[in-house]
Amino acid sequence: MIDAVERVTGRIRFSQDASLPGMLHAAAVRSVVPHGRIARVDTAAALEVPGVVAVVTGEDLRRLPGLRPVYGPQIEDQPVVALDRVRYVGDIVALVAAETPRAAQEAAALVTVEYEELPAVFDPLDALEPGAPLLHELEPERPHEGTALYFGIRPQFGTNCCNLFRIRRGDVARGFAEADLVLEETFRTPAIQHVAMEPHAALALWEDGRLTVWSGTQTPFNTRQILAGIFGLPVERVRVVVPPMGGSYGCKVFPRIEPQAALLAYVTGRPVKFVLRRDEEFVTLTRHATVVTIRLGLKRDGRITAREVRAYWNTGAYADCGPDVARKGGFGIVGPYRIPNVAVDSRCVYTNLPPAGAFRGYAVTQATWASESMMDLAADALGLDPLEFRLRNLLRDGETFATGETLHDVHFAECLERAAAAIGWEGPQRRELGDGRVRAKGLAVVMKGMTTPSRSEAKVGVDRSGQVTVYSSTVELGQGARTVLAQLAAEALGVPYQQVRVVDPDTDRTPFDNRTTSSRSTYMMGNAVRQAALALRERLLLAAAQRLEVEPADLELVDGNVRVAGAPASALTFGQLVEATGQEELVEHGEFRNQGGLDPDTGQGIASSHWHQGAGAVEVEVDTRTGKVTILHAHASVYAGQVVNWHTAELQNLGCIVFGVGSALFEELVYDQGQLVNPNLSDYLIPSFLDLPERMTHDLIERPGAEIHGLGETALPPIPAAVGNAVARAIGARVTELPLTPERVLRAIRARDGERG
């Protein structure tokens, strides 16, 4: 990585490290009830705390003229501070700004709030029952204040469903009628948390009616737009600067704490920094808990005739990007298989729990858990080998997916075969060790889309000193964006990549980018950077051709010089060429778009301009006396198309496997009546050195001339499903709910043996 020295010496500065003279510190007062009307907020004692400058309640917010107090990327349903109602334990009821973090925390603890409690609902199926308490009064669009706006989604008005995404392809009734065998099963996943090591941190400053926010966010331009919406400003009067992040994995997608920091700065007239405590992280954003029922129609020969899916995504109290999660999960749940008749109803549902949103894998981990567990159930019911059953049904090049789009550059079968071979699938798939321990193998395939449509722009410049600079709004969150973008620019310009500077995203300086999500950046931004760098190369070649009085085709770029091919003496430095133009810096622009989109009522169209493809395979050991699962070997095979940087690419695969292990074996947010009972790293476990599979291996599959395929997520979703399939094979019973804790595995063994759980 080009910033490796900064990183190992601790000199790198995250948004948590940002500071300004005269800066205040924020703290939040949070709801202790899952659903209630705010009867009274008493801030008197808090205001007495030395160092406290302001306490802002919903009533204060309401009184501020010209502000739009609610926001949200897809439905504007989340208040900056609760206005009259709280909707989950952890909802922000008041904000404090004080001279020190301690004074802010102390004052926040002294704010007393009285609630009139309302009935609460926590399960998405309960939340859809008639008479269930409604979280929001969503109504068809009314263009005045306080009304939600919907961006291409289908809320079911008068219910807690904030998006219903459907796929309708073929005729499922006919498909089931044609089937020899129909299976149905329901699968569940819990809410889990990202646990980025660096918490959310933002610093807000108002100067001359202009707002600047420094924040570790994956979405600088969305954040700018949403902040502008809240404060009634044109977007040009909001600037978002993004320092590198100490991890995100989706939790820093869309505004989280920026509106609150900006509000306090607005009210106090001073810069305000807001850094969340770890327990607050746990109630700020989660991965959607899911309930998914799949019905599958099968022919004896292993063909799939129909697939019907009902999926429920528990999005918590505010929609965030849940509606889109339900959409992407809705097509992700079909799986990369040839199925003529498909019906999917995927619902995003409000409940009185912390909001759920983007999470590495973006719906596809939950979708794959259900879909690939179902594939093994089907293989067992047909008496087919799970590998063979999948290979008969996997989509091949030129075939049509459930959305009606034709797939190209298809490698699902290759990924799966390589993963299976890596763990020795051909050998025994199940083996008893004789002392209650059983070893078994499992497989899973993954198909994941990339945000479509979307757009990335970049600029690449060279100045009089010869310094090459990339201006890009792709954020650095540990994936190595700075390095990879530097490499792509360097390659086009014939300079060592270590000498390329990459400017951190700054909406005033770096051009537009959709966002750093969905494993899109190396491909989308990479292409924009490449384009800009190639344009700059042309310009340098033309300038040199004029000076050297040769044809551009006779020139070459070597180490920051342009010279006549093979004639080092003719070399002109980039700096000399820039100087000759009379400009300080020559800058070229690049832009890359992908096109598509789906009809929300039929799911037909283009879901993704290209597909992330992969497979996972594991061997586990289950101790049937204790239910403990040990992963002996985990392998991921991922289609990369073209690898730009092997180091960072491998780290993505390894990181995904480790994430998958946590999700498979122990990560789970546990709620009691809406109160999170494990909001700390003692009770909520993430993988440590001692939790790793004994062996972790992976492949990156390349093809000459292929498009770059992003690698940030692909290897994660198949891991929990492969572990689940291996455990099912080991114990001869299926655990349908993640994580695969010893308790759940033991219960499944006892149920198999007909004992009472």
Among 73, 124, 199, 505, the residue binding another protein under the rule CB under 8 A is 199
In whole angstroms, give the CA distance from residue 369 to residue 724.
8
Cβ-based nearer residue to another protein, 177 or 197: 197
Report the candidate in 293, 305, 169, 310 with the shortest Cα–Cα distance to residue 602: 169
C-beta separation of 554 from 564 below 8 A:
yes
Cβ-based nearer residue to another protein, 298 or 715: 715
CB of 289 to another protein, least distance (A): 20
Question: Given the rule CB under 8 A, which of 152-160, 307-315, 687-695, 726-734 is the region that contacts another protein?
Answer: 687-695
Contacts of 171 (CB under 8 A, 6+ apart): 341
Q: For helices 412-422 and 386-393, give the axis angle rounded to 10 degrees.
A: 170
Binding mask 696-735 toward another protein (x if CB under 8 A, else -) reads: x---------------------------------------
Among 651, 706, 733, 751, the residue binding another protein under the rule CB under 8 A is 651
Is 21 near another protein (CB under 8 A)?
no
Q: What are phi and psi of 551, to 5 degrees?
A: -80, 145
CA distances from 162 to 47, 71, 73, 254, 750 (A): 39, 15, 13, 18, 39
Among 215, 218, 479, 608, the residue binding another protein under the rule CB under 8 A is 479
Among 384, 658, 700, 730, the residue binding another protein under the rule CB under 8 A is 658
Among 106, 198, 504, 668, the residue binding another protein under the rule CB under 8 A is 198
C-beta separation of 677 from 279 below 8 A:
no
Among 98, 107, 172, 196, the residue binding another protein under the rule CB under 8 A is 196
Contacts of 550 (CB under 8 A, 6+ apart): 564
Residue 489 CA to chain centroid, in angstroms?
26
Among 39, 173, 433, 681, the residue binding another protein under the rule CB under 8 A is 681
C-beta separation of 490 from 499 below 8 A:
yes
CB of 477 to another protein, least distance (A): 6
CA distances from 705 to 533, 640, 642, 662 (A): 19, 12, 8, 36
Among 330, 335, 355, 655, the residue binding another protein under the rule CB under 8 A is 655
Cβ-based nearer residue to another protein, 12 or 542: 12
In whole angstroms, give the CA distance from residue 58 to residue 71.
14
Question: Given the rule CB under 8 A, which of 161-169, 567-575, 683-691, 729-737 is the region that contacts another protein?
Answer: 683-691
CA distances from 343 to 165, 177, 340 (A): 11, 15, 10
Is 689 near another protein (CB under 8 A)?
yes
CB of 710 to another protein, least distance (A): 15
Is 62 near another protein (CB under 8 A)?
no
Outline where DSSP puts E strands in 607-687.
Answer: 611-623, 628-641, 671-672, 675-676
Is 16 near another protein (CB under 8 A)?
yes
CB of 480 to another protein, least distance (A): 7
CB of 650 to another protein, least distance (A): 8
Among 659, 724, 731, 744, the residue binding another protein under the rule CB under 8 A is 659
Cβ-based nearer residue to another protein, 55 or 649: 649
Is 4 near another protein (CB under 8 A)?
yes
Is 51 near another protein (CB under 8 A)?
no
| Tokens encoding 241 | 């600067």
In whole angstroms, give the CA distance from residue 594 to residue 455.
7
Report the candidate in 574, 541, 569, 542 with the shortest Cα–Cα distance to residue 556: 541
Among 56, 94, 110, 195, the residue binding another protein under the rule CB under 8 A is 195
Contacts of 266 (CB under 8 A, 6+ apart): 64, 206, 211, 231
Among 45, 173, 197, 558, the residue binding another protein under the rule CB under 8 A is 197
In whole angstroms, give the CA distance from residue 330 to residue 342.
11
Is 694 near another protein (CB under 8 A)?
no
Span 209-228, contacts to another protein by CB under 8 A: none
Cβ-based nearer residue to another protein, 277 or 703: 277
User: Which class for 722: exposed (0-12), middle (13-18), buried (19 or more C-beta within 10 A)?
Assistant: buried
Cβ-based nearer residue to another protein, 262 or 638: 638
Is 633 near another protein (CB under 8 A)?
no
Cβ-based nearer residue to another protein, 626 or 680: 680
Among 41, 450, 686, 735, the residue binding another protein under the rule CB under 8 A is 686
Q: What are phi and psi of 177, to 5 degrees?
A: -65, -35
Collapsing DSSP to helix, strand or coil, 230 comes out as: helix
Neighbours of 93 (CB within 10 A): 21
Q: What are phi and psi of 377, to 5 degrees?
A: -60, -40
Is 477 near another protein (CB under 8 A)?
yes
Cβ-based nearer residue to another protein, 60 or 691: 691
Binding mask 591-630 toward another protein (x if CB under 8 A, else -) reads: ----------------------------------------
CA angle 678, 680, 686 (to 5 degrees): 95
Among 182, 654, 706, 751, the residue binding another protein under the rule CB under 8 A is 654
Cβ-based nearer residue to another protein, 193 or 473: 193
Is 503 near another protein (CB under 8 A)?
no
Question: Given the rule CB under 8 A, which of 136-144, 244-252, 383-391, 665-673 is the region that contacts another protein?
Answer: 244-252
Cβ-based nearer residue to another protein, 534 or 692: 692
CB of 280 to another protein, least distance (A): 11
In whole angstroms, give the CA distance from residue 757 to residue 752.
10
Cβ-based nearer residue to another protein, 195 or 306: 195
User: Which class for 184: exposed (0-12), middle (13-18), buried (19 or more C-beta within 10 A)?
Assistant: exposed
Cβ-based nearer residue to another protein, 286 or 373: 286
Is 644 near another protein (CB under 8 A)?
no
Report the candidate in 108, 662, 732 with the shortest Cα–Cα distance to residue 380: 732
Among 67, 233, 580, 692, the residue binding another protein under the rule CB under 8 A is 692
Cβ-based nearer residue to another protein, 95 or 275: 275
Cβ-based nearer residue to another protein, 102 or 299: 102
CA distances from 609 to 407, 452, 559 (A): 9, 6, 36
Is 8 near another protein (CB under 8 A)?
yes
Collapsing DSSP to helix, strand or coil, 345 comes out as: strand
Q: For helices 521-548 and 574-581, give the axis angle rounded to 10 degrees.
A: 70
Is 498 near another protein (CB under 8 A)?
no
Beta-ladder partners of 635: 617, 697
SS (H, E, C) 560-614: CEEEECCCHHHCEEHHHHHHHHCCCEEEEEEEEEECCEECCCCCCEECCCCEEEE
Specify the pairing of strand 561-564 against strand 555-558.
antiparallel
CB of 658 to another protein, least distance (A): 3
Report the candidate in 591, 710, 716 with the shortest Cα–Cα distance to residue 649: 710
Is 357 near another protein (CB under 8 A)?
no
Query: How many residues touch another protein (CB under 8 A)?
Result: 49
Span 286-315, contacts to another protein by CB under 8 A: none
CB of 720 to another protein, least distance (A): 15
Cβ-based nearer residue to another protein, 498 or 673: 498
CB of 473 to another protein, least distance (A): 18
Is 244 near another protein (CB under 8 A)?
yes
Interface residue list for another protein (CB under 8 A): 1, 4-5, 7-14, 16-17, 194-199, 244-247, 249, 277-278, 477-480, 647-648, 651, 654-659, 680-682, 686-690, 692, 696
